Amino acid sequence: MTIKVLVAGATGKTGRLLVSELKDRGAIPIALVRKGSDTSVLPEGTEQRTGDLTRLHSGVCDGVDAVVFAAGSGGSTGPEMTDKVDREGAQRLVDLAKEAGVERFVMLSSVGADNPPEDHEMTHYLKAKQAADEHLQASGLTYSILRPVALTDDPKTDAVILGEGVDQQAKAHRADVAAVLAEAAVTDRHAGKVQEMQTA
């Protein structure tokens, strides 16, 4: 059976790499895109489904086997959009995935989301990610939560450190993050795990 994977954030820097990784693994990625998104960054022939994370409609997860949340409001938006996308959008997508009987939900989170610092420039964002992660863990869905350190656009290496031993000051290549997210979406290797990640 070919696995269908809905990707939220598919046109982002990590998302587009994830779509390619899923195709390479024989899965069918379905890009969740809002109207007006630049879909030219997606591999040719990628299936698309219209949806806006700030107002997701029921049924958006119908017919898929797994969902990956790899979206983000972006560093240039304010706290309100962070709440709408990174917290509420992610939580709503979890609820709709459960409603649709999706088998697996993979969350791209961030290092520090387990214990957000107070009075830091990333505090609001990390608290939003923490709330989304906790909502997923409480949902009853088979989940995988990946918390990479600072992301770079360097090429894929497959030299990945997960869980214990991650240096929080290190870097993670987006291509390596995409590979782990894809693996989590199509296999049980990361099921039920919350893991920090870096590129070695």
Burial label, 134 (beta-carbon count in 10 A; 0-12, 13-18, 19+): middle
Q: Is the pTM of this model over 0.85?
A: yes
Q: How far apart are CA 92 and CA 104, in angstroms?
A: 15
Q: How far apart are CA 104 and CA 182, in angstroms?
A: 12
- Asked if 10 and 18 count as a contact pair (C-beta separation under 8 A), the reply is yes
Q: Which CATH homologous superfamily contains domain 4-199?
A: NAD(P)-binding Rossmann-like Domain (3.40.50.720)
Q: How far apart are CA 163 and CA 165, in angstroms?
A: 6
User: Domain boundaries in the chain?
Assistant: 4-199
The tens-digit pLDDT sequence of the chain (200 residues) is: 799 999 999 999 999 999 999 999 999 999 999 998 899 999 999 999 999 999 999 999 999 999 999 998 876 678 899 999 999 999 999 999 999 999 999 999 999 999 998 888 889 999 999 999 999 999 999 999 999 999 999 999 989 999 989 999 999 999 999 999 999 999 999 999 999 999 99
Instruction: Note the pLDDT of residue 76.
Output: 67
Active centre residues (catalytic): 125
β-pair partners for 30: 6, 47
